[in-house]
Amino acid sequence: MTGNNIQLDKNGNLKHFLSIEGLSQPLLHTILNYAVSFSTVDKRPVKKVPLLRGKTIANLFFEPSTRTRTTFELAAKRLSADILNLNISTSATTKGEILSDTLRTLEAMHCDMFVVRHSNSGAAHYIASQVAPHISVINAGDGRHEHPTQAMLDMFTIKQHKKDFAKLSVAIVGDILHSRVARSEIHALNMLGANEVRIIAPHTLIPKDIEKLGVHIYDDMNRGLQDVDVVVMLRLQRERMRGALLPSENEYFKRFGLTNERLKNTKKDAIVMHPGPINRGVEIDSDVADGKHSVILQQVSHGIAIRMAIMAMVMGQINKNENMEKKK
Amino acid sequence: MVEKINIGVLIENMAENIGSHCDTRGYKSPLMIGIQRGGVWIASRLHQKLKLVDSLGELNIAFYRDDFSKIGVHPEVKPSKLSTNLDDRHVILVDDVLHTGRTIRAAMNEIFDYGRPASISLVILIERSGRELPIHPDIIGKTITLKEGEHVKLSGPEPLALEIMKIG
């Protein structure tokens, strides 16, 4: 995998948004602060601001997605950009076009930004290293590596409910092994100074070396949830599983499903998050998903604000750098 | 510092002029909006003196500035606070210094995304030279002519002070 510094320009400003790893605490706070302003846009009569008017953004989804793709699309539209949706798994690559040709073709269409989702870890980094200098790349999920905009919208959601990251205990529950969300989330929580990050999962779904990220590991829900402020549930990613990692979904729910009974172990004002799509009755009980602790639908709205903030930041930075180059 | 200007007197006169401006035109219960940050400081004093019914609106024009391509996202971007419907309202738009006119253009663009006001009147504490757009204020606290290298600086909100400074 290429180094993370590719996402910053020589002055340390955000040029691409590829991974949480490698970003500083002040930069994460800047994104969260901008998102507060952008979150007011969809409460106005005209849900649009003119910041990215005249820019063209291409959603390059090599892997299917509904909510991430549509929230990126809405974010781009609310910034007044034009957006192309390319479902590449069913188009060019099946006709044998190689990736670099696809990129050159989109550059020739005068695109300014690529939002990339790919099943290979490091795909967004690779694309960022290949594109013309005026193009920004945003990672919308790469393999098991990172899903940084999801982590930022989760941090934003936490910040709306809990004031101080330094006092928080956060439990991430479920399929950590296949989860790029978990990885981004752990990096973000560490960088923002969360008091404790716990992982609750069966040992077959825990990647090795995860302790190096400073997390505490539990294989018992009741103990793991004890006094936590935030519970992040993950989707069981059946489609990525090879071989017998789990006995059955039923068995999994019995041991690791989040029920109201288990939620009693957490702090009284704990919030429950889930990146979606949720598997009701597999990792989370319907009563919890729709219950008073759940902030799952708020996460979706916040996703638009966070993506607007990040798109505006990277595009603004590229514009500014270009202008400075011209002046020289 | 070259000169210190007494703001209290200026605001007193501006409030009086806004009153008669609205009376002659028959503007009933106008809606006052200040542009962040300095405009809001001035507007909140005018709002108090005029005893306006609707709460003061605050406009942050960062999303509407025309220099995004030069400076990127403005570091002072904060949410605007406006009553959601401006349809058919008489708007009194307040800012501290009128210089190029670009801020006012951006502010009017934003206002129209909240509705179609019946009218907009522009109230400015200090009018200075350097206009780049055809923008003309309705009520002016004071018009000043600056010598080369001088600029106007408002500090606040408490105490509110206006100074003419020399750069460099």
Q: What's the CATH number where B49 sits?
A: 3.40.50.2020
Residue numbers of A annotated as active site = 67-68, 95, 117, 147
Q: How far is CA A231 from the centre of its chain?
A: 16
Q: Which two tokens stand for residue A178?
A: 């296949």
The model's pTM: 0.91
A46, B113: Cβ pair inside 8 Å?
yes
Residue of B nearest to A39 (CA): B79
Mean pLDDT of A305-315: 96
For β-strands A169-173 and A216-218, DSSP reports them as unpaired
Among A34, A319, A323, the residue with its CB nearest the CB of B77 is A34
Q: How confident is the model at residue B149, as a pLDDT? A: 85
Cβ contacts of A245 within 8 Å, gap of 6 or more = A177, A202, A204, A205
Encode pLDDT of A10-54 as tens digits.
888 899 999 999 999 999 999 999 999 999 998 888 999 999 999
Task: Please compute the mean of the pLDDT values over residues A311-318 and round it to a whole number.
Answer: 89
Under the banding of pLDDT at 50, 70 and 90, the label for residue A1 is very low
Q: What pLDDT sits at residue A3?
A: 44
Structure tokens at B150: 């001088």
pLDDT of res. A247: 74
- The pLDDT value given to residue B151: 87
Pick B79's closest partner by Cβ from A40, A316, A317. Answer: A40
Distance from CA of A258 to the nearest CA of B (A): 37
For testing contact with chain B, the best of A9, A30, A320 (most B CBs within 10 A): A320
What total number of domains does chain B contain? 1
CA B7 to chain centre: 14
Domain ranges of chain A: 4-147+303-327, 149-300
Selecting from B78, B80, B113 the residue whose C-beta is nearest the C-beta of A45 gives B113
Model confidence at A243, pLDDT cuts 50, 70, 90, reads low
pLDDT tens digits along A127-156 = 999 999 999 999 999 999 999 999 999 999
ipTM value for the complex: 0.83
Tell if the CB–CB gap between B85 and A45 is shorter than 8 Å. yes
pLDDT at residue number A248: 82
3-state helix, strand, coil in chain A (%, to 5): 45, 15, 40
pLDDT tens figures, A280-290: 999 999 999 99
Residues of chain A with a CB closer than 8 angstroms to some CB in chain B: 34, 36-37, 39-41, 43-46, 48-51, 312-313, 316-317, 319-320, 323
- At the topology level, CATH places domain A149-300 in Rossmann fold (3.40.50)
Give the CATH number of domain A4-147+303-327. Answer: 3.40.50.1370
Determine how β-strand A271-273 pairs with β-strand A230-233: parallel
